[in-house]
Homo-oligomer: A and B are copies of this chain.
């Protein structure tokens, strides 16, 4: 690298590249296509562009990042960054300059562009029987004749009215009790967990309690914020798993633990920090939005620092819940075995070593405070049980949401995330397995991969003759063809666009069956990257983007997608062979990817073995749905423990011909004889739809 340049990586987007030394972090972010919030236009007065410099040697990127590689602390920063945050490496992006290689984490609140929820909750049926229920009691005050203590006084009433016996409570709840009873004039509402433990006491009559079901993916974390009384999903919050900076897949994270002192604790702390952020986001959504305060002349009112004063701007007729952290009284968590272990700070080493035993299968009830999660202090976090190998609590979530163990039909359930998890069978027998797909199908780790957010290319068509590209981005209805280039503001490619791109590249003859860029290709869109010498194809020209550089798909990107689909296809094939079947009655695709995927293109591109097209269903984030089912129905928790021990786990990598199947499955597309259901359809027609 030239001496006057430095390698800069932005997390969680993973965007990286060289920038000239001396540019500000904001300038660097713009050069690399990362949007950082900057309300004041870098006048150093809004304090929105706070980012964190990560310290460490990031082998994956061959980058050593530390505080010496940025300019010295500036006085302006004191105003926005306190001593504690400063110690953690936080800096103001508009005043800090790049002096060497850096890995920079952009906190969610500093990221520009409102996120489009990609893991929305589905409308699945759940019986209402939450683990946390509310009970209202009125008691008579103590007298000399009847001076019984506060706890026994309410317990007597809880037993009389509701039949609740032998209730416990922890010291935090006990501390609330005397004042709540007196503030409520001897009338209180008690939140009771599993009819076993009082976890909260509030004065008077209260009718609602809230909980969050959280699916901790390797790349994406999705939280469903629910009213435990009405079962309504109030909102959905997603974030990148903050552990992404330590490695993109589960094995990389396990390796980070094994090679780095305190590595496990760092990863655990990071995801816990992420969950706390998620909780805060859930709560913030229950307050009215804010707007700038204006005086009678319509002029913006400013505070002594020249900043606009913000006031609440409630929508007319809308009521706001205005909740606090303490109002979150239950959390359920799912994730693959590695995410499960790392989150809980459990040694994940042996999960990564044959025969891959987890530390625990059974579900766990852990006080949120023992994990450092800041909700109602006496509340529990329910952690779904693990199956085996990497097939963990997330797949158990999928299973209790889809309940194939109650079905006659033979179902193949594919949960596509960074780790692909497969379940095959019906009420007679279920087997499960996992395969390393990597995050490519989610759009991550591609040169211009990004989350499903405004500016993400989600649909694409390539003219086979001219190789002209037409596409559509999230946040804009009109395709490029009907737009001015500058209106597109493209930024990257999201998961749902990936298969489209691959199919179109192939149909247009730009890539061959083996996935290589065609040698004969003549197009100004096709070129070799001057830095890497990698072939790449331009999907959007710089002028169509908001990042002032061409959005491309590289040879490496194509390979990543091939690897992912090959692993999936081979896994399905081997499981079918294990069960002695050659067809399924139903294929269910779970995960964010499944929500957006064009099922015909998925079949044609060979993501999984043949199935009637109308029997291919997208079931959305079923892992998250399972977490939600466990949140709202405590019987689903028992069901989860039952199913986790009654699915037979198959370790695919030890099957003799896994490698052969895998290599074959990487080709695009598969031989038509593998897809009899497509016989009546002309492949090329589908590809050109």
- Which residues of A come within 8 Å of B, CB atoms? 142-144, 147-153, 170-172, 174-175, 177-179, 182, 344-347, 349-350, 354-362, 364, 366, 370-371, 386, 388-389, 649, 651, 654
Give the residues in chain B near A148, CB-CB below 8 Å: 357, 361
Question: Given A170-B370, A360-B151, A649-B147, is A178 in contact with B355 using a C-beta cutoff of 8 Å?
Answer: no
Give the residues in chain B near A345, CB-CB below 8 Å: 171, 175
Shortest C-beta distance, A509 to chain B (Å), equals 46
Give the residues in chain B near A362, CB-CB below 8 Å: 151-152
Give the residues in chain B near A174, CB-CB below 8 Å: 344, 346, 359-360, 364
8 additional A-B pairs beyond A147-B356, A152-B361, A171-B364, beta carbons within 8 Å, are A144-B355, A147-B389, A150-B357, A152-B360, A170-B370, A171-B371, A175-B347, A178-B349
Give the residues in chain B near A150, CB-CB below 8 Å: 350, 357-360
| In the bound complex, CA of A353 to CA of B617 (Å) | 67
| In the bound complex, CA of A91 to CA of B149 (Å) | 44
| In the bound complex, CA of A553 to CA of B32 (Å) | 85
Give the residues in chain B near A356, CB-CB below 8 Å: 147
State whether A366 touches B151 (Cβ < 8 A).
no
18 contacts between A and B (CB under 8 A): A142-B357, A144-B355, A147-B389, A148-B357, A149-B357, A150-B350, A151-B361, A152-B360, A152-B361, A152-B362, A171-B366, A171-B370, A171-B371, A172-B370, A174-B344, A174-B346, A177-B360, A178-B347
Question: Given A170-B370, A174-B346, A354-B144, is A151 in contact with B359 using a C-beta cutoff of 8 Å?
Answer: yes
State whether B361 touches A178 (Cβ < 8 A).
no
Shortest C-beta distance, A501 to chain B (Å), equals 39
| In the bound complex, CA of A541 to CA of B143 (Å) | 55
Which residue of chain B has the shortest Cβ distance to A142 in the bound complex?
B357
State whether A143 touches B355 (Cβ < 8 A).
yes
| In the bound complex, CA of A356 to CA of B345 (Å) | 45
| In the bound complex, CA of A46 to CA of B674 (Å) | 85
Shortest C-beta distance, A332 to chain B (Å), equals 16
| In the bound complex, CA of A362 to CA of B154 (Å) | 13
Give the residues in chain B near A389, CB-CB below 8 Å: 147
**Copies of chain A in the complex:** 2
Shortest C-beta distance, A679 to chain B (Å), equals 40
Shortest C-beta distance, A393 to chain B (Å), equals 12
Give the residues in chain B near A171, CB-CB below 8 Å: 344-345, 364, 366, 370-371
Question: Given A170-B366, A350-B178, is A142 in contact with B355 using a C-beta cutoff of 8 Å?
Answer: yes
| In the bound complex, CA of A344 to CA of B170 (Å) | 11
Which residue of chain B has the shortest Cβ distance to A383 in the bound complex?
B171
Closest 8 A/B residue pairs (Cβ) = A151-B360, A142-B357, A147-B355, A149-B358, A144-B355, A178-B347, A149-B361, A147-B357
State whether B149 touches A359 (Cβ < 8 A).
yes
Shortest C-beta distance, A656 to chain B (Å), equals 14
Which residue of chain B has the shortest Cβ distance to A264 in the bound complex?
B175
Shortest C-beta distance, A622 to chain B (Å), equals 23
| In the bound complex, CA of A150 to CA of B355 (Å) | 12
| In the bound complex, CA of A147 to CA of B432 (Å) | 14
Most buried by B among A177, A344, A350: A350
Question: Given A174-B360, A175-B346, is A654 in contact with B144 using a C-beta cutoff of 8 Å?
Answer: yes
State whether B346 touches A149 (Cβ < 8 A).
no
| In the bound complex, CA of A651 to CA of B153 (Å) | 20
Give the residues in chain B near A371, CB-CB below 8 Å: 171
| In the bound complex, CA of A362 to CA of B389 (Å) | 44
| In the bound complex, CA of A3 to CA of B142 (Å) | 53
State whether A651 touches B144 (Cβ < 8 A).
yes
| In the bound complex, CA of A345 to CA of B173 (Å) | 12
Shortest C-beta distance, A578 to chain B (Å), equals 14
Shortest C-beta distance, A452 to chain B (Å), equals 34
| In the bound complex, CA of A153 to CA of B366 (Å) | 21
Give the residues in chain B near A651, CB-CB below 8 Å: 144
| In the bound complex, CA of A153 to CA of B360 (Å) | 9
Give the residues in chain B near A347, CB-CB below 8 Å: 175, 178-179
Question: Given A144-B354, A147-B649, A654-B144, is A359 in contact with B177 using a C-beta cutoff of 8 Å?
Answer: yes
| In the bound complex, CA of A654 to CA of B370 (Å) | 46
Give the residues in chain B near A143, CB-CB below 8 Å: 355
Give the residues in chain B near A178, CB-CB below 8 Å: 346-347, 349-350, 359
Which residue of chain B has the shortest Cβ distance to A144 in the bound complex?
B355
Shortest C-beta distance, A341 to chain B (Å), equals 9
State whether A388 touches B147 (Cβ < 8 A).
yes
Shortest C-beta distance, A644 to chain B (Å), equals 10
State whether B360 touches A149 (Cβ < 8 A).
yes
Give the residues in chain B near A177, CB-CB below 8 Å: 359-360
Give the residues in chain B near A349, CB-CB below 8 Å: 178
Most buried by B among A347, A354, A371: A347
| In the bound complex, CA of A147 to CA of B388 (Å) | 8
Shortest C-beta distance, A619 to chain B (Å), equals 27
| In the bound complex, CA of A155 to CA of B354 (Å) | 22
Shortest C-beta distance, A300 to chain B (Å), equals 40
Shortest C-beta distance, A373 to chain B (Å), equals 12
